[in-house]
Structure 1
Amino acid sequence: MGSANSRRAIAGAEGLTTQAQIPRDASAWEQIYSETLSTWKYSAVLWGFEPRIDYTNNVKARLQPWCCGGRYFSVRYDSPKEVIERPYFLITITETCFRQDTYIRLPCAYQSRLHVEPDPSGHYLKPVQVVGYREGIAVLQVNANDGKMEFLVVHMKTATVIGMHKIEVTGKHYLCDTLISPDLASFIIKPNAMYVLNFCRGEYQNVIKLVSCKGENGHCPVTKKLFDGIAVRLFVAFDPRYQWRRIAIGNYLRGGRDAVCLYDTDTEVIIVESDTSHYQTTHNIVYSPDGTYLASLILGRSVKDGLFNFPRVLVYSTTDLSILHVIRTTFLAEVPTLSPSALFPLFSETGTHLAIAYGEQGTFYQQVAGVHVYKMPVLLDLQSLCRLTIRDFFDSQDVERLPLPTKLKSYLRFQPSYG
């Protein structure tokens, strides 16, 4: 077996470190691969990243790529000429890169209830659009002309609506972000910052709502209202280990500066906050699959303020939100809100690698040119290493077919560990 020191040396060479070694092991964060954006979706499979992410520049119709995990869904609908021809209203959800349609049947009353927003805001706010997606569950935002916004929870495989949540609109309709919990039992609704700040200032509910997917008669009730009055700027990510009970929040204002905090949604208590000595205005925040790390895409400071920084990625420890590593983006002068760069950083399915966008030298405010892949430190414990070894040979779908107990398969698929 060798001595403890020799085992640590071998582990360090392979990028496997103990918790105490993580902040000091610089070799574990090295860049190991680069790929152009046009061919990245093919290489992504080899490195264990989700291959069905839409990295094209045509993201203006959605404004919330982080809610759908980067997957792009378009929605179309048509009305039958006569009720006898088709006694229902048909909605078709299409994922372009997956080439698969999901057909949802709604009551015929929706035909006359849909609210059409005039341009330019209508270019971003559709009568029906997907505003959240996770593991086969989608959330549709339906804007009705009777002063309501309806959020339909759709099971994509069975093409059924499993629940609905309604919001009364007192002013204008507005675009919302929805984030589905790891156990698929709840989802968060919050106003989309880019939309409301451009098209309906002050005419929206500036609050985070935690909504249960389980309710009586298909109604999804609100279980919590959080951060009333300050929700619009926040970026939220569910901790994959805690079902709906713990979230990370970016752009949490503390002492006049943006910070990151971990929040218990059950007790409504902030667990820990990051050090505000670092500039931390974020445009994306994401957990590693096992919940060990938290990565955030930090925006550069404004040129008009006399400051100019290239965007960078901060990697935090989820134990105390200490910053373990800083990765500076290459040749990205800024992060345009509607650019594919907003989809990054990305963790691989097993959390062993991190993908970060880069640009082209000599350009200004340009789109993403390619992707760098970095090696992540992995905790050196037998249970985690066994999981990673198994996942080297079986992807998430293959794990479901293994003759193993349900709890063990859940662990292999990085599903919630705590109730």
Structure 2
Amino acid sequence: MGAEESKGINYGLMGPTTVVANMNRQAQAARPWSLLHMCSVDQWKSGHAEAAGFSETTMSCNGVVFKDCSPTFCISRQGIINLNKSHSLFSFRRRNKFTKMAEHFEYNHIPAQLSSIQNFHVKSVLCYHESTVVLHLVRNMMTQFGVIDLETNKFLGVFGKKNVEFVNEALRGEISPDGTVCLIKIPSIKSDNNSAFVFQLFCLKKRELIREVTLPFHHSLFAFDPRFSSSRIAATSFLRGEDNSLSLVQTDSWSVLRTNPRVDDMHSSLNPHLKDIFFAKDGYLIFAIMVSSGAGCCCREKRARRMQPVDVCVYIFNADTTQTLHCIQYNRFICAIHSCPVNYLPIFSNCGSRMAIVLNDKETQYDHLQIYKLPTTGSLQNRCRIRILQQFQYPDIIQRLPLPNRLIQYLQFQPEFA
């Protein structure tokens, strides 16, 4: 159960063509959770990723979370750079308070719109989906949210009540798979309890609050189920008294459909170890990422490796029953508190049936990747989708296939077909 299975396996001499043949052969015969392939980070970038059916090649980032990156937006993976302007459009704001993400969006994507609204500035990227980006904005020391359409490069407007200014660490957001709503976790200003948080569901088109619910724990996380557009989420520690639980929740009533009371077998509470939860592309699996916090921040020591690696656990659950299915454990030489999530989050192949992780062996300083086979679940229709996608090395080809639009949408994991 974990990356220890990889010892003694060496794919270092494989070229991309050999990787394709090896993956096709092993993927058919191997059992779920089996290790299919291992390579170095350099080999991954030079052709192994594409040969194994993955589009993403950026697997590490030196950005600091909540300063350079956010839990859902990476400056390396999304190509955001630090823009050095000779003058500031916002003279009231000191230059040393800008973050890389804030500079990029404030000066590059929406300068005209934000400059026309005095005292507004970007604090961070809260979440994004396709071409829609939701920003954490601050005006006169009050937090609000802004919506940008990157395809048209337009600032669509502001939403959310004018609250006190919140730190980026206190907020968490996600746009639904169909792009219609945005769910945000935010501190509650109505409660006498300073640690109280709420889920707020907003309509992005009208930029209005639809409904909200108070959370029993401040560290609750959530993710939209891609099979149900915006009507179902998975949420951790959603029930009162269940600090180590995973629940399936209906967003129209906040009613709980299923609950797993034991997410992490190694800790009694998910705080502060839980970093993220998310669904597989087809929606049939839920992943929870647990990272040991160790002795605290080790940003200064990580370059010289004068520290112990952190333990990363990927717990996998059935998305219909919340039953625990598997756990993969591995080590990373990163700061568990400030490291960009790209350094420890797994990625998935274009067909959604393979998962890749970056890990370190304790006795070496080199990063390498491992690819695991995921179980093929769901309907016959979903199984056919996986097989079809495995036949095309480049996902852009799907758009050009002579198929009905709804079938192409289904092959692209869009929820409208579900």
The alignment's TM-score, normalised by the length of structure 1, stands at 0.71
Structure 1 position 33 matched with structure 2 position 67: no
Residues 41-120 of structure 1: pairs in structure 2 closer than 5 A: 41-42=45-46, 43-51=48-56, 53=58, 55-60=60-65, 61-62=67-68, 64-66=70-72, 71=78, 73=80, 93=104, 102-103=109-110, 105-106=112-113, 108-110=115-117, 112-114=118-120
Cα distance, 1:343 vs structure 2: 4.7
1:288 is the counterpart of 2:280:
yes
Give the conservation status (yes or no) of the 8 Å contact 2:284–2:319.
yes
Indicate conservation of the 8 Å contact 2:160/2:208, yes or no: no
How far 1:221 moved relative to its partner? 0.4
Which residue in the other structure is 1:166 paired with? Answer: 160
Contact 2:278 2:287 in 1 (8 A): yes
Number of the residue aligned with 1:132? 127
Map 1:320-335 to 2 at 5 A. Answer: 320-330=321-331, 335=336
State how many pairs are aligned: 353
Helix, strand or coil at the partner of 1:407: helix
- In the alignment, the residues of structure 1 paired with residue 380 and residue 158 of structure 2 have an alpha-carbon distance, to the nearest angstrom, of 43
CA distance in 2: counterparts of 1:107 and 1:309, whole angstroms: 41
Q: Which whole-Å CA distance do the structure 1 matches of 2:114 and 2:291 have between them?
A: 44
Q: Secondary structure at the match of 1:233?
A: coil
Aligned match of 2:172: 177
Q: Counterpart amino acid of 2:414?
A: Q
Distance 2:114 2:63 in 1: 32
Task: Confirm whether residue 143 of structure 1 aligns to residue 138 of structure 2.
Answer: yes
Question: Quick one: distance in 1 between partners of 2:370 and 2:345?
Answer: 11
| Matching residue's letter, 1:210 | L
Asked whether the 8 Å contact 1:133–1:179 carries over to 2, the reply is yes
Tell me if the contact between 2:131 and 2:151 (Cα under 8 Å) persists in the aligned partners: yes
Contact 1:243–1:416 (CA<8 Å) still a contact in 2? Answer: yes
* Residue 210 of structure 2 corresponds to residue 223 of structure 1: yes
Contact 2:203–2:209 (CA under 8 A) maintained in structure 1: yes
Alpha-carbon offset, residue 382 of structure 1: 4.1
Give, in angstroms, the shift of residue 182 of structure 1.
0.4
- Determine which of 370, 387, 390 is the counterpart of 1:372: 370
Could you tell me how far apart the structure 2 residues matched to 1:39 and 1:206 are? 44
> How many angstroms does 1:256 deviate by?
5.3
In the TM superposition, residue 371 of structure 1 has moved relative to its aligned partner by 2.5
Separation of aligned partners in 2, 1:325 and 1:252: 22
Return the letter of the residue paired with 1:225.
E
CA RMSD of aligned residues (A): 3.9
Partner-residue secondary structure (3-state), 2:197: coil
**Per-residue CA shift, 1:132-178, capped at 9, x if unaligned?**
11212111222112x432322111111112342133123x4422332
| Secondary structure of residue in 2 paired with 1:377 | coil
Does the aligned pair in 2 maintain the 1:163–1:214 contact within 8 Å?
no
Structure 2 unmatched ranges of 5 or more:
1-24, 91-101, 188-192, 297-308
In structure 1, what is the equivalent of residue 198 of structure 2?
Answer: 207
CA contact (8 A) 2:178 2:416 kept: no
| Residue matched to 1:263 | 249
> Which residue identity is paired with 2:113?
L
The separation in 1 between residues aligned to 2:28 and 2:202, in whole angstroms, is: 39
Match of 1:245 among 222, 227, 231: 231
Work out the CA distance in 2 between the residues paired with 1:57 and 1:79.
26
Question: Structure 1: which 5+ residue stretches go unaligned?
Answer: 1-12, 18-25, 82-90, 95-100, 116-126, 193-201
Counterpart residue number, 1:401: 400
Scaled by the length of structure 2, the TM-score of the pair is: 0.71
Query: 1:383 and 1:139 mapped to 2: Cα distance?
Result: 34
d(CA) in 1 for partners of 2:348 and 2:54?
7
In the alignment, what sits opposite 2:314? 313
SS at match of 1:408: helix
Q: Which amino acid aligns with 2:399?
A: E
CA distance in 2, matches of 1:271, 1:181: 19
